Amino acid sequence: MKINRKLLFHILAFLTAAVWGVTFISTKILINSGLTPAQIFAIRFTIAYSGIWLMCAVRGGTDRRLFSSSVRHEFLFLLMGISGGSLYFLTENSALANTQACNVSFIVCSAPLLTILMTLAIRKLFKGSLVQGLEDIRIGIPLVAGTLLALTGMFLVIFDGYTLNISPKGDLLAFSAALCWAFYSQFMSQMTSRYGTFFATRKVFFYGLLTIIPILLFSDSSNLHHVPFSSVKVWGNLLFLSVIASQLCFIVWNRVMSEIGNVTSTNYVYLNPVFTLLGAMLILGESLTTVSGLGSAMILGGVILAGIRKEDIITNQK
């Protein structure tokens, strides 16, 4: 039963990565339709926040509470709302305007590797219940080999037919986005376990929206008059990003992290370029090359290999 339960959350992580891989295409369509990255985030998370509040109201109990049990936890939710919400999406989407999309994809998808390094550093340097709640990882052959295999496969998928052009500003923004997601991945699993998936996700959405307000106030919003909101292409992609990719996927992902660990779950981010490629094939009519196919297989194999733990091998032998 334990193995089946764990397998279920690995499948959910896989499906969430599939959805998030397609969001790049949806975001690009909305930007081409006249919306700015900040506006897309604000609309997307306002709808998602409203939806999760409705779910909390229906569920009742502690999910309806407004605040966490301490100022420290409330501050941590604020940091996660910034790192996993407003700042992450702003840096990622702004990077696209300053460098190649393949550069952004490759650098942002270094988040799993950064998560591993950050987790090891935090566990070594700090103590406390939140730190102890981080996944206890060991640098072994499966983790190292799986990470290198996934990184190599990701490089093949993203740079198939493209060349690497360095753009300091855009590449730095993309790296900042990867760091944001690595930080978000550190403590969300413990906060989810402590407060429940719905309450914890709602708090992250709230602080993400709160911290995007200054950006919106000092931005020119005249472009909104020219955005065709009545177009299926616009409102359809907004609903997909809001309800599916944000409200539902963040709830699932936060639960996944609390069940299989912050490092193991984040390894599935390596799969994002694969699903972006598949989405481009289905939506934009792009073709799959041999190199991209090989890279996709290497990524999947790397994710599986990196997720192997010694205790899993022992359990299967019993």
The whole model's pTM is what?
0.82
Q: Which of the four pLDDT bands, split at 50, 70 and 90, describes residue 160? A: low
* 52-105 pLDDT tens trace: 999 999 988 888 898 999 999 999 999 999 999 999 988 987 887 676 666 676
Residue 273 has pLDDT above 90, yes or no: no
Residue holding tokens 């502690």? Answer: 62
Report DSSP letters for 262-318, one per residue.
HHHHHGGGGGHHHHHHHHHHHHS-----HHHHHHHHHHHHHHHHHT--HHHHHHHH-
Residue 1 has pLDDT above 80, yes or no: no
Residue 256 has pLDDT above 70, yes or no: yes
Query: Between the ranges 95-109, 164-178, 282-296, where is the mean pLDDT highest?
Result: 164-178
Distances (CA, A) of 25 to 84, 280, 287: 20, 7, 15
